[in-house]
Structure 1
């Protein structure tokens, strides 16, 4: 079966202590769910644990009607994070990866994944070793988030088609960085900048889309919503003879969907109450 988007990587139960609620999240997981909500045929691959949070995450995926064609259930704790909000700005304070520490994909699984129109993953997914096997077989989309490690970027950017970045935590020349990233090999580079405009470059095309002024409830997952909507627009609308027009359209739709998801709690608005606080045993976010 061919999927529109096959997202590979993290699923994370995001715990909000002040609410005593777990929200469904994780970059790859969010991208698959939001794509399905936008009426695409989406699939997700990632490892689930066997605890209460894992069951919540797994059942949510099924309720959202996202395909999970390759089952990977591992005994132990599901990935979980601690999230704190300040005036709507979500801050991840701690992350425990739980059972999700590596991937081991055989050729049959890769053959299934590469039939998709776009395969999306990110820096948290342990999928880097498989990119070369999928390159030129399908479109590869990669979320690099805030990462600016040049050695890592040089190795990965040459294997992907669509590169997404978040604004760097340190001051940088954003135009120069986008130019450099594009020179490494991808067809298009997109830089999102929180409440500021998003930037895109592809060949000689340079675009900027302004953000809406909204009352932000929760920023967690807004970048995933942007990515999912951008990819959805490319799949549905893009025509190579007018790339600038359709990149502009994709940016506009992505900004609209990201703004919508900033107005709900959690990445997806789906939660489960918890009576006891979540404890992080192995914080990789420290």
Structure 2
């Protein structure tokens, strides 16, 4: 079982479902409401753990009624939480999600996630060195991510960086990242003077651009390659990108090449959108193996 480390956010999602997305100053009636577990870091950790990776979480929770439930959810998904630290006098992270017409809009409140920093990551440097792959995203502060990538780079550990939500990345950080996986809009923000095709050509075997139902683009050093998505009836797209990241990291750590890892992650993501909630639809490995599109040559 490969060891996957995820540094990132741990949050509660507050989800409303409506037939009409409100304009500024407008109140509309919703059809349903529920709370569920989220945070891009926790989501990616759960996605990997359900595919039978040995996952450890790095991150913070707050000083509120949600903290214990957030930790319990990680443990229930077989994720190691020994290094998740509580922060006093601050709330746990939260996301306010509105679902309308099978798509979502999100307001993210960092809370304790915003207190994850480079000093916190440095305390666990010797632990980090023991992992097969590390994963991070932009819902924790930049200095924490830079420290994690630096440790991974210096110890020849593959890293997966999901630059969401978008913020500018330093060129030297991008150089150290093994796999940089933005969606289409994030790629355009990262490389405003380049087309997506030009961006992936500039970053072969590193920049992997997810485009939802249009598939995934990357350059293998010789040519641009598009890996098609799997077509399903989507119920809730929340968490699909996180499912892709966690699944991709698991696949790479198990020895799949880029084409295989992306195809595997696409299949996993296609399952995730058929149920409600960011983590609600994330598939277990046994579920994927029953899918007619599962490739018996995948090393997982």
Q: Contact 1:33/1:66 (CA < 8 Å) preserved in 2? A: yes
Q: CA deviation at 1:193?
A: 0.5
2:274 alignment partner, one of 263, 273, 277 = 263
* Residues 71 and 11 (structure 1), Cα distance of their counterparts in 2 relative to 1, 3 Å cut: closer
Q: CA deviation at 1:145?
A: 3.3
Q: Where does residue 10 of structure 2 map in the other structure?
A: 11
Q: Where does residue 232 of structure 1 map in the other structure?
A: 250
C-alpha distance after superposition, 1:181-209 (max 9, x if no partner): 44xxxx52210001212112233353211
* Residues 107 and 85 (structure 1), Cα distance of their counterparts in 2 relative to 1, 3 Å cut: closer
1:117 and 2:132 equivalent?
yes
* Residues 105 and 205 (structure 1), Cα distance of their counterparts in 2 relative to 1, 3 Å cut: farther
Unaligned runs of 5+ in 1: 239-245, 271-286
How many positions carry a matched residue from both structures? Answer: 255
Q: Contact 2:135/2:249 (CA < 8 Å) preserved in 1? A: no
* Residues 165 and 153 (structure 1), Cα distance of their counterparts in 2 relative to 1, 3 Å cut: farther
* Residues 106 and 176 (structure 1), Cα distance of their counterparts in 2 relative to 1, 3 Å cut: closer
1:42 and 2:55 equivalent?
yes
Question: Equivalents in 2 of 1:143, 1:190: separation in Å?
Answer: 10
Question: Equivalents in 2 of 1:148, 1:196: separation in Å?
Answer: 24
* Residues 35 and 106 (structure 1), Cα distance of their counterparts in 2 relative to 1, 3 Å cut: closer
Matches within 5 A, 1:268-279: 268-269=279-280
* Residues 68 and 53 (structure 1), Cα distance of their counterparts in 2 relative to 1, 3 Å cut: same
* Residues 146 and 199 (structure 1), Cα distance of their counterparts in 2 relative to 1, 3 Å cut: farther
Aligned to 2:96, the other structure's residue is in SS state: strand
Larger RCO (CA within 8 A; separation ≥ 6) = 1
* Residues 205 and 111 (structure 1), Cα distance of their counterparts in 2 relative to 1, 3 Å cut: farther
C-alpha distance after superposition, 1:221-269 (max 9, x if no partner): 101111111222222233xxxxxxx322212111110010011111111
Question: Equivalents in 2 of 1:181, 1:219: separation in Å?
Answer: 28
Q: CA deviation at 1:77?
A: 1.0
Q: CA deviation at 1:52?
A: 2.3
C-alpha distance after superposition, 1:50-96 (max 9, x if no partner): 3222222111001111011313011231100110012211210x222
Q: CA deviation at 1:119?
A: 0.6
Q: Contact 2:61/2:85 (CA < 8 Å) preserved in 1? A: yes
100-109 or 120-129, which deviates more: 100-109
Kindly report structure 1 stretches of 4+ aligned residues shifted beyond 4 Å: 169-172
Q: Where does residue 183 of structure 2 map in the other structure?
A: 166
Matches within 5 A, 1:57-136: 57-75=70-88, 76-92=90-106, 94-102=107-115, 103=117, 104-105=119-120, 107-126=122-141, 127-130=144-147, 131-136=149-154
Q: CA deviation at 1:44?
A: 0.6
Question: Equivalents in 2 of 1:142, 1:192: separation in Å?
Answer: 13
217-226 or 204-213, which deviates more: 204-213
Aligned to 1:99, the other structure's residue is in SS state: helix
Unaligned runs of 5+ in 2: 18-31, 282-300
Q: CA RMSD in A?
A: 2.2
State TM-score, norm by structure 1: 0.82
Question: Equivalents in 1 of 2:120, 2:165: separation in Å?
Answer: 27
1:21 and 2:34 equivalent?
yes
